[in-house]
Structure formats: C-alpha cells, structure tokens
Structure 1
Amino acid sequence: MLNVIIFTIFQAVLSTLAAALIGLASAYFAAKKDFAGRRFLLSFSAVPLCLPSLIVALGYVSFFGMNGRLNQFLMTLLNSERPPLTFLYSAAGIIIAQGFYNYPLVMKIVSESWEHLTQDQEEAARLLGAGEFKIFYSITLIRLVPALVSACLPIFLFCFFSFTMILIFAGVGYSTLEVELFKIVRGTLNFKDGFLIAGTETFIALFIIFLYSKLEKKTSSLKGISFDTDKLKRTRIQGKKEHFLFGALILIITIFFIAPLAGIAINAFTSRASKSLSLNTILFLFKSQRFVNSIGWTFLTAGCTAVLCSITGFLYGSFLRLYDKNQKRTILQVIPLGPMAISSIMTGFFIKLIIQQGNWFTLTIAQTILMWPVAFRQIYAALQKIPQPVIDASLLLSRGKFDTLTRVMLPSIKHAVVSGALCCFAMSAGDSTLPLVLSIPDFDTLALYTYRLAGRYRFNEACAAGLILAVLCAVVFSLSRKKGDKNVF
C-alpha cells in the first residue's frame, strides 16, 4: 500500500513538473516574442480541456507504441526486428504523456500573466548590471508564482487521479491508488481496502487543496506582483541562442505533442488490411450497430449531465449571489472545490455500494456530482458582473426571489449558462472511467466503446472512434467558449 501511495504522488509530482517546465518555456515565447504560428501554439491550450485523456493515450500508442509509426520507421531505418523505443510502457512514459498533455494549460495561464507584468523591476536590475538569467529567476519567476500555482494545482490533481493513462502505460509493478481502487470495484470487492484507499486519496487531495489556498494567499501579496492594463510589447526572436532554444522547444513539442495527436488521424484513415489511406475504417464503424448505439447513449447521458450541471451551478451561484454577496462565508465558497478531491473511481465505488447495478441515469447523476463545479465557475463569474443595484431593485419590486431568479438573473447570464452546459457536455462525452466502473449492461458511450476497441488491440478502429469523439468534444468546447465570451453587463 505504501509503495502505491509513493508512486501515485511521485508520478503526479513529476508529471506536473514536466508540464510546468515545458509550459513555462512556451509561455516565455508566447508572451514576449512575436513569431509565425504564435496563435497556433496558443490554441493548444484547448487540448487538455476538450480532449479526453483516452484520446491522447491512443495517440501515444499509435506513435510511440511497440508497433507505432515512429518505431516502425526506426526499425526499417536500423534494419532491426525489435522496436528501439520502449519507454512508453514505464513510469517515464506516464510522466511524458501526462506532462505534455497538460503543458498547454500552464502555457496559457502563465503567458497571459507574463504579458501584463510591468517591466520596472527588470529594467532597474539591468541598469545595476544583473544578467538576464539572474533577472528571470530572482524577479520575473517570483512574480509569476501565482499564475504557476493556479495552473499546476488542477494538473497535479488530474495526474494524481489519473486512471486511463496509468492503466494503459504502467508496466509490471507500477500501480496507483486509482488503479487499486478500480481492481477492488471490478474484482475483489474488498470494501475494507476500498474505504482505506478512497479515504487516503481524499485526504491527500484535500491536503493539496488546503496548501494551494494557503500558498495562493501568500503569493498574491508578494511584493513585486503588479499588473498593467497595457500588454508587454513583443519583439522578434533574435540571436543564435534564442533561435536555437526556440527551435529545440518546437521540435520537442512536435515530437511529444503534435505527432501523437496527428497519429490518431492517420491511423483512423488507414486501412488495417492494406495499410494504405482509406475511409474503410470509418465506414466499418458506422456499419456497427454497437457504435451507432454508443453515439446515441453519449448524447443522452452527456445532454442530461449538461442540463443538470447548469441547473445546479445556476441555483448554487444564485444562492451565493443573494445570501453571500460579500463572499464572507468561507464554507459556502469552498463547497464547489469539494469535487476536486473526489475521483471518478471513488464516486463509482460508493455508487456501487448503494446500487448494485447501475444504469444510464445513475451515470448521469454521478457525472453531475463531479462536473457541476465547472458550470458553476462560469455561471458564478457572470452573476458577479450583475450590478448590485439591479438585484436590489428587482428584489424590492418583484413578487419574490423566484421572480428575481427567472426574470432578471437568468436572462442576464444565459450565455454563461449555455457555455457551462456545453463544457460539461464535452467532459461527460469524453469520460470513459465512470461508465467502465459502473459496468452498465448493454451500454456503451463513445468513450467507453473507444476504450474497449483499444483493449482488444483494434487500434485503427479505436483511433477512428477516438477521432470522432475528439471532433465532437472539440466542436462542443469551441461553442462553449464562444457563448462564454458574450456578457450582458
């Protein structure tokens, strides 16, 4: 048990550090330099939010796997019968996959913060003879700590609760708390060990969230953190050293991020029989009744989850806006952070204790419990923008609070409600863990169907189904962002 806890924390910490290092380097060029493809680089920030980890895992298998495209190329080049690259099915593979999957989140948050940092302290240090590297680690990096902390907390929790990537990439002797809990739910049914693992996971996650809240308060008051309404003026990449570093960064991102994602599309349009580009794999899927049914179940469960999450988020956000408008009741503000300390496996574990046999509605309720804070954050941010005099006047002139909710607050934030619902739809559609844990008979979502194909080593079909799932999630997520940009006030 102790070894499992150590490895769980170990892989989460190293994965987060890998994401932070690549993300910080990318943020430097995105914030301070002007170059062709800058917008394309920043667009990667949507990947961790709209692409399920299962799809990324498939991409790594299709590119770095034993029979992946890179190994096939190297075997031909080196005239070898054995694949030269075997790192994927090890701790290194887990850390690399999770690190590169999440680095765009660090890049996005840190680059936006970096763009608005004033340059007074840096310029003063240059006048006093400080070198650029010393200025960076002694001034700039310290001022970027709040942004780094905000980006790294969700990444750490994602890696800590990671299941799909661990299940696919972990070699012999490697396991995490999530995987062990899954084995109990699906196999031994040793509830004593199940409660112990679930309690350990929750305690560690809550402790990390507690540390985050303390660190956020401390770093937000650091001297030197100041923001200006004007953005930092970007310059062209100059000098051999900068060009070399930029080229090395782009090469690394291309190999470990772009190529695996591209590998999914290539495999999806490759015939397993002829190994040539073809639509046969896609057409074969649509001839399968099970695949067609999985699309229907996906829209049903994701749609219901999206509606329930938006309703819950709106009701709780409205409650806070009316009864805690000054945000002084800490416990009420902390409640939406609770689901961050609960994993999908843990939720499924407790549901199976209560209900022996789950169904699609059980899945919807479970996903709502985990995902409603996502809708809440968007809805509450919009509610905060409604001027207090408008709410006060509504409460005074209307027949009751229900009138204020339905005739003033809801119409004012309808775009945020739709945005939150669409985001939860994309998250629900991409979730393969909860459907797998609940073991619903004669039931497949698109994500679960993709996982089953990968488990049977039918990687071309899995990549084709994964590509369809990725396109669905990406379209819905992009719609959510467009809706979220519209504000009444």
Structure 2
Amino acid sequence: MARRAERLALPVGVVATFAILLVVFYYPVGSVLVAAVVRGGRLTLGPLADVLGDPFYTGMLAGTVRDPFGVPAGLGGWVRAGFPSVEFGLFGFTAWQAALSTVASVLVGLPGAYLLARYEFVGRRTLRSLTIVPFVLPSIMVAVGFLAMFGRNGLLNDLLSIVGLGPVGGVLFTLKAVVLAHAFYNAPLVTRLVTTAWESVDARRVESARSLGASRLRAFRDVVLPELVPAVLTAALLTFVFTFLSFPIVLALGGLQLATVEVWLYARVQDLALGEAATLGTIETVLSLSLTYLYLRYEARQVRSRGTTTLSRHRLSIGWRTLRDPVRVGLFAYGIVVVILFVGPLASMVVESLTGSGGLTTANYAFLARQQAATAVGTIRPLPAVRNSLLFGLGTLLLAVPMGVVVSVLAARGGRGSRIAETLMSAPLAVSGVVVGLGMLQTLVFGTTVAGHRLVASGPVAIVLAHAVAAYPFVSRNVTPALSGIDSRLLDSARSLGASRLRVLVDVELPLVAAAVLAGAAFAFAISIGEFDSTVLLSQGVNTYTMPVALERYIGNRSVGPSLGPATAMGTVLLLVTAASFLVIDRLGGRWQP
C-alpha cells in the first residue's frame, strides 16, 4: 500500500498543480477572454472591433478596422498632405514608452555588464547579487522613491541647493520619469543576462584571433560581439514585455495623463466598465503572449556553451593613474550615474521619511502610529498592512514552493514534459497581474456556480492564490537548473536499489538542491510581499490590504509636498521587509535566470 502511494504521489502532485493553475489562472484569465467575445450568450467580435476601431485606443490604425478597403486611399491622402504627424492611440503610446524604456535599460545595463565581466574589484560579487533587485523590490515602493528624489522638495534638489545649483524640475509626472523608473528596474536584468553571456565566451577563440593578427577591436567584433548579441536581444525583448505590462510605476508617476493599457484597464475596472476592461485585457494578453512566445522560440535557438577557458578579468583599482585611463574614467562616471539612478531613489525615500521642514524628525512615523489608533472608516492602518503582507507571504510559500518543485521535476525530465513545464512557467509571467486580478474578481470573488452550488473565494484566499500564481515560476526557475545539473548516475543507482521515483526525489534530489529550493522560497515570499497589480483589485478593506496597497493609498493625490511623508515612512517599512528577503536570497545564492 505504501509502495503504491509513493508511485502515485508525483502524478497526484502534477494533477494537483494543474488543477490549481486551471482554477486560479487559466479559468479566470479565460473568463476575461470569453467576456470579450461573448455577449448575451452569443459569440461576437463586436467588442474587439469596437476597441480596435476606436481612435482613442489605436489612433490612425483604427481606420484599418472600420474600413479596411479605404486604407490605400487614406495612405494616399496622408502622403499628399505632406506626411503630417499621426496618433497611434493608447496601444501605440504603451508600445512607445516600452520601446523608450527598453532602449534606456539597454544603454544603462550594458556598461554594467562590461564592468562585471571584464574587471575584478572589491565588492564585485555584491554588485552582481544586486542585479536580482528588480525581482525583489516592489515597484510601487520604487515609484515613491522617485517621487521623493525628483520632487520639488526632493533630495536631489536639496543637494543641488547646497552647491548653489538651481532646482531640477519638470521630471515628475512626465514620460522621462516613467522611462527612468523602468530603467531602474530593467537595466539590472540587461546587466545580468549580458554578463553571463560575456563570461561564457571562450578565451581561446579570442587568443586565436589575436594570434592571426586581429586587433583587440577586430577580435571583439568578430568573436565576442556575436556571443553577446543574442543576450542583448533577449534582454531587450524581455524588457519590452515587462515595460509594456508595467502598472504601478506608470500609475504613480504618470497617472491617467500618461495612461498605458494597464492603467486604463484598471481605471475601467474602478468605473465598473468590466466589459470594456475585459476587451482591453484580452487584446493586451494576446500581444504579451505573442511576444513571450517569440522570446521563448528565440531563446530555444540559442546554444549556450561555456568556454573551458574564460576571459580573464582586469584588476580595477582607483588612484591617480585612473585619471589617465579613459576606460576607468568612463567606468567611474558610469558609477556616478548608477548611484544617482539606483541608490538615489531608495536613499531619498528613507531620508525623506526622517526629515521635515525643521530637520530630522519622526513625525511621519508618528503619523503612522496615529493612523494605527484611528477608528474612522476608510483609515489605512499600517500594522494590519504589515500583518496581512506577512501572512499572505507565508500562505504563498505553502502553495508556490510545491507547485514550483513539481514543475521543475517535469522540466528536468526532458521531452514533452519539459515543453509542458516551460509553457506552464511562462504563461503567468506573460499575463498582466491586472488581467489575472480582473479574472479572479469576476470568477472567484464574485462567485462561480458549480453543480448548483455557489463557490466564492474570500479576499484573503483570492489574494494568496493570485500571489502563488505570480510566484511559483520564480521557484521553478531556481530549482530546474539545479535538478538538471544532478549527475544522473546517482539517480539511476538509487532506482536500481529499489527506490521509487518519489523516494529518489525526497532522499537524493531535494537534499542536493536544498539551497535552490530555499532561494526560490525566498523569491516567492518577496514576490508576494511586493505584489500590487492583482492585490489592488482583490483587496477588500482592512482584512486584505497589504503594504504595497497601503503605500499607494498614502501617495494620495501624488503630491510631492508634505503628504509624501507618510508614504515614504510606509515605503521604508516595506523596504526593510524586502531587504530581509533579499539578504536571504543572496545568502542562499539565488539562481533564477529569465
């Protein structure tokens, strides 16, 4: 009996994982897709045509939907008019800001990859560990940091006034602020991917090119650059997907004035225009899944084989000689940019939380304490937010870790199971959290009738389920490489001695990859702590709002004046919790790779 239970344990785990994904992800997201093409029980493309044919959404391309046969005449009229400027609507603006953010992220991230791959210096390992920060820091907290740094009374202007320079204005609530914040998030992703590719270049090929008379520049162009281009393109495509789906940063730094599809979708839900929101979510999901599919196909064609002899790193030292080396001067200047862009917002948030018009103060934290004691309806109290975030994080671990391990086992086996696991891992990453939240709101929170019974998932349950769906891919991405790297002879030996597949997993594989599992668990906890997209739709009052949701409420009217103080104080509390998660990930050696 026990033997049979062991044989069935893994298949049952796979079925349970599929069932959870079906109920929590595919069914809610599918309901959004169905709501966009079904009206009154009949299949129709009318809602999609209405959105795609509306100039507000698609700009000049709307005419191709309303009157496709009139496109040639329209193009002719545009040419005869002298090529006047055209509008591309909400989708066009979303793609435009994603493209600008991608370019900025690549430009900021590439020098960092060069620094990490080609130089050895004190703190290099720590700096490389910091490239996983985008997957840990809550984006709404980063937005508060940018408000605190670039505001009229922000830290940057305070520092400039000390040296007699005028204030910097016109940054906040503009496209520049959104692009900078996206670069904060995605430049480390570019650095991480390109550094890995650079470190995989076989030094013997470079030496062979140099021995045949190639200059250093020619050897780089002909040998190193072809190895880097796939990594750069992969990072650019991922960055475009992430910034196309960006929500909290645009909401806090742009609002409806710079609305992207995500922000407008959220606004439609707030206005209870759920049909229009479902149509927008459907179009956005199709676009993001298509881009993710292209990324997976492109990545699958790349053969990543690490050279047996890697490129040696140069020792990077700082001294008077540094001023005579243009490369070191450039890297030093890059370091200043990195400090301003990456350290500045977080430092500004902490400083602003502890300062006021009279200098150092704890007034902002005292305000949070008063909020905790307030009894007025609608008051956002900090301690319930902290408590909810921690409890939801623990609940997420209970679901996300087993799900991630099961998917990793499927992926590590290879064959069709590997392809299925790849699909399962990628879909939640490619679907907007707002779309997932909308789907869960329509199905689980509002209730679904099954066999005559009304099934309803309360706010906390729905939030934990949504967080688990968002977090388990990070567990599997940590565990899958570790499982795949285990010597198959160990597993074969255990099986030859009579151990079942479950026993081999529990007694041999999991102990060998325990660090990867723990790192994945830390990632899952950090993802849950910072998740905002679906949570802001699913939270229902004091029992469900989390730290990121409370932080967004404290931002209020997005003022950069005194009202930002409580937001920076709440953001600092969130930063401390997130930093603890990051330290765990760093100590355990986070292995997640996009």
TM-score (norm 1): 0.87
Tell me the equivalent position of 2:313. Answer: 233
The more displaced of 163-172 and 114-123 is 114-123
Tell me the equivalent position of 1:310. Answer: 401
Matched, 1:98 2:182: yes
Q: How far is 1:404 from its partner? A: 4.3
Equivalent-residue separation in structure 2 for 1:124 and 1:382 (angstroms)? 34
Equivalent-residue separation in structure 2 for 1:416 and 1:120 (angstroms)? 32
Q: How far is 1:276 from its partner? A: 1.2
**Counterpart amino acid of 2:350?**
A
Q: How does 1:175-186 map to 2 (within 5 A)?
A: 175-186=259-270
Q: How far is 1:300 from its partner? A: 0.7
Does the CA-based 8 Å contact 1:363-1:438 persist in structure 2?
Answer: yes
Does the CA-based 8 Å contact 1:61-1:68 persist in structure 2?
Answer: yes
Select the residue among 245, 255, 259 that pairs with 2:344. Answer: 259
Matched, 1:59 2:156: no
Tell me the equivalent position of 2:34. Answer: none
Q: How does 1:316-395 map to 2 (within 5 A)?
A: 316-321=407-412, 324-326=413-415, 330-354=419-443, 355-356=445-446, 358-395=458-495
**Counterpart amino acid of 2:111?**
A
Does the CA-based 8 Å contact 1:375-1:420 persist in structure 2?
Answer: yes
Q: Residue deviations 1:20-73, cap 9 Å, x none?
A: 111111221222234555455434313212211112111111111233232355
Tell me the equivalent position of 1:446. Answer: 547
Equivalent-residue separation in structure 1 for 2:338 and 2:589 (angstroms)? 29
Structure 2 unpaired stretches of 5+ = 1-56, 59-88, 373-380, 447-456
Equivalent-residue separation in structure 2 for 1:67 and 1:410 (angstroms)? 52
Matched, 1:42 2:122: no
Q: How far is 1:78 from its partner? A: 7.2
Does the CA-based 8 Å contact 2:113-2:192 persist in structure 1?
Answer: yes
Q: 1:484 to 1:26 in 2, by over 3 A?
A: closer
Q: 1:394 to 1:352 in 2, by over 3 A?
A: same
Q: 1:185 to 1:427 in 2, by over 3 A?
A: same
Q: How far is 1:120 from its partner? A: 4.5
Tell me the equivalent position of 2:110. Answer: 24
**Counterpart amino acid of 2:193?**
I
Does the CA-based 8 Å contact 2:133-2:582 persist in structure 1?
Answer: no
Select the residue among 424, 429, 434 that pairs with 2:524. Answer: 424
Equivalent-residue separation in structure 1 for 2:458 and 2:120 (angstroms)? 53
> Secondary structure of 2:258's partner?
coil
Tell me the equivalent position of 2:577. Answer: 472
The more displaced of 181-190 and 128-137 is 128-137
**Counterpart amino acid of 2:513?**
I
Q: 1:375 to 1:465 in 2, by over 3 A?
A: same
Q: 1:68 to 1:87 in 2, by over 3 A?
A: same
Structure 1 unpaired stretches of 5+ = none
Does the CA-based 8 Å contact 1:64-1:85 persist in structure 2?
Answer: yes
> Secondary structure of 1:117's partner?
coil
Does the CA-based 8 Å contact 1:316-1:376 persist in structure 2?
Answer: yes
Q: 1:133 to 1:19 in 2, by over 3 A?
A: farther
Matched, 1:244 2:334: no
Does the CA-based 8 Å contact 2:411-2:417 persist in structure 1?
Answer: no
Q: How far is 1:335 from its partner? A: 2.0
Q: How far is 1:111 from its partner? A: 2.4
Equivalent-residue separation in structure 1 for 2:340 and 2:234 (angstroms)? 27
> Secondary structure of 2:385's partner?
helix
- Counting aligned pairs with the same residue, the percent is 28
Q: How far is 1:118 from its partner? A: 2.9
Q: How far is 1:287 from its partner? A: 5.3
Equivalent-residue separation in structure 2 for 1:307 and 1:23 (angstroms)? 35
Equivalent-residue separation in structure 1 for 2:299 and 2:479 (angstroms)? 23
Does the CA-based 8 Å contact 1:327-1:333 persist in structure 2?
Answer: no
Q: Residue deviations 1:67-119, cap 9 Å, x none?
A: 32323555787797xx6421232112211221133212222332243234234
> Secondary structure of 1:47's partner?
helix
Matched, 1:300 2:391: yes
Tell me the equivalent position of 2:292. Answer: 209
Q: Residue deviations 1:199-239, cap 9 Å, x none?
A: 22222222222222332244438xxx762344523144764
Equivalent-residue separation in structure 2 for 1:171 and 1:359 (angstroms)? 26
Does the CA-based 8 Å contact 2:389-2:546 persist in structure 1?
Answer: yes
Does the CA-based 8 Å contact 2:532-2:549 persist in structure 1?
Answer: yes
Q: How far is 1:133 from its partner? A: 5.0
Q: How many residues align?
A: 476
Does the CA-based 8 Å contact 1:342-1:370 persist in structure 2?
Answer: no
Q: 1:405 to 1:120 in 2, by over 3 A?
A: closer
Q: How far is 1:428 from its partner? A: 0.6
Q: How far is 1:124 from its partner? A: 5.4
Equivalent-residue separation in structure 1 for 2:165 and 2:344 (angstroms)? 23
Equivalent-residue separation in structure 2 for 1:319 and 1:115 (angstroms)? 29
Matched, 1:483 2:591: no
Tell me the equivalent position of 2:201. Answer: 117
Q: 1:382 to 1:242 in 2, by over 3 A?
A: closer
Equivalent-residue separation in structure 2 for 1:394 and 1:122 (angstroms)? 43
Q: 1:226 to 1:377 in 2, by over 3 A?
A: closer
Q: How far is 1:158 from its partner? A: 2.0
Q: 1:378 to 1:189 in 2, by over 3 A?
A: same
> Secondary structure of 2:360's partner?
coil
> Secondary structure of 1:51's partner?
coil
Q: How far is 1:433 from its partner? A: 2.2
Does the CA-based 8 Å contact 1:427-1:473 persist in structure 2?
Answer: no
Equivalent-residue separation in structure 2 for 1:315 and 1:95 (angstroms)? 37
Does the CA-based 8 Å contact 2:554-2:567 persist in structure 1?
Answer: yes
Tell me the equivalent position of 1:167. Answer: 251
The more displaced of 432-441 and 57-66 is 432-441
Q: Residue deviations 1:360-401, cap 9 Å, x none?
A: 111001111222111112222333234434444545655854
**Counterpart amino acid of 2:109?**
G
Q: How far is 1:286 from its partner? A: 4.4
The more displaced of 241-250 and 366-375 is 241-250
The more displaced of 201-210 and 395-404 is 395-404
> Secondary structure of 1:220's partner?
coil
Equivalent-residue separation in structure 1 for 2:414 and 2:325 (angstroms)? 54
TM-score (norm 2): 0.73
Q: 1:383 to 1:440 in 2, by over 3 A?
A: same
Equivalent-residue separation in structure 1 for 2:270 and 2:569 (angstroms)? 28
Equivalent-residue separation in structure 2 for 1:135 and 1:241 (angstroms)? 20
Tell me the equivalent position of 1:269. Answer: 354
